[in-house]
Structure 1
Amino acid sequence: MKHPIPPNVTSSALEMAEPRIVDLTAIEPVSCPCGQARRAFADFPEFPGTVHLTDIDADAQPHRHREHTEVYVILECEPGAAIELDGVRTPVSPLTAVAIPPGVVHRAIGMMRTLVICHPEFDPLDEDLLKS
């Protein structure tokens, strides 16, 4: 089935866009307040964000973003895992999705592996680390 082209997409944009496939496990991880993140698509102009495979440590630090919205999708987690949003803890399990708007202080509690979709593109200067 052929998909309709949105009216705001020009034919020249369609000709330039190339699909991209990334093995997230092949990306070198970087430290973050949560643990270790493997970030993809920062160099993909057709996507206005980034996708992160994040392994969350037991000592994840509370933080917030001034402009970023994040969606956490829990892939794996230990029993008793939770997400803390502005001080309120909510239990999570695999395939739970959590949308976190800018300004919300958040952290994961317990070891887990998440897929994080960040909009706009992740910028470490947008992140404020807070004391737990």
Structure 2
Amino acid sequence: MAQPQIVDLTAISPVACPCGLARRALADFAEFPGTVHLTDIEAAAHPHHHEQHTEIYVILQCDPDAAMELDGVRTPVSPLTAVAIPPGVVHRAIGKMQVLIVCYPEFDPSDEVLA
């Protein structure tokens, strides 16, 4: 029988990503075919897309003028906004923010393509 898994996302060492710094979790949890990332987004996030991944961004904290740019269209965001990003959509966060990202399937760095 599968066992629950509890992860302190703040205890995971961050890795650099096009957005800033990501703490990625649950890659080893077989019962969930994705990953969860706590990401600190920098003001200079780079546009990118994924060939296979769908991402759900949940904005936890952000600057007052924060936005998401999706295929060139900017949309203002605020805390507790959720943004669903299908594969192929060029995206970036604008402004400093902290987001929880649910990635499906499990994150693979080779699927991240800079625009």
TM bin, normalised by shorter chain, reads over 0.9
RMSD: 0.3
Distance in 2 (CA, whole Å) between partners of 1:80 and 1:123 is 30
The aligned length equals 115
Please state if 1:126 is matched with 2:111: yes
Q: Tell me the residue number matched to 1:78.
A: 63
Matches within 5 A, 1:54-93: 54-93=39-78
Matches within 5 A, 1:2-21: 15=1, 17-21=2-6
CA deviations 1:70-113 (Å, max 9, x no partner) are: 00000000110000000000000000000000000000000000
**1:120 CA displacement:** 0.1
Amino acid corresponding to residue 35 of structure 1 in structure 2: G
CA deviations 1:44-75 (Å, max 9, x no partner) are: 11100000000000000000000000000000
Distance in 1 (CA, whole Å) between partners of 2:64 and 2:78 is 8
Superposed structure 1 runs of 4+ greater than 6 Å apart: none
- The DSSP-based 3-state class of the residue aligned with 1:125 is helix
Distance in 2 (CA, whole Å) between partners of 1:45 and 1:126 is 20
Amino acid corresponding to residue 69 of structure 2 in structure 1: E
TM-score (norm 1): 0.87
Q: Which has the higher contact order (CA 8 A, sep 6+)?
A: 2
Gaps of 5+ in 2: none
TM-score (norm 2): 0.99
Identical amino acids, percent of aligned pairs? 76
Which of the two has greater strand per residue? 2
- The DSSP-based 3-state class of the residue aligned with 1:107 is strand
Equivalent in 68, 82, 94 of residue 97 of structure 1: 82
Distance in 2 (CA, whole Å) between partners of 1:78 and 1:86 is 21
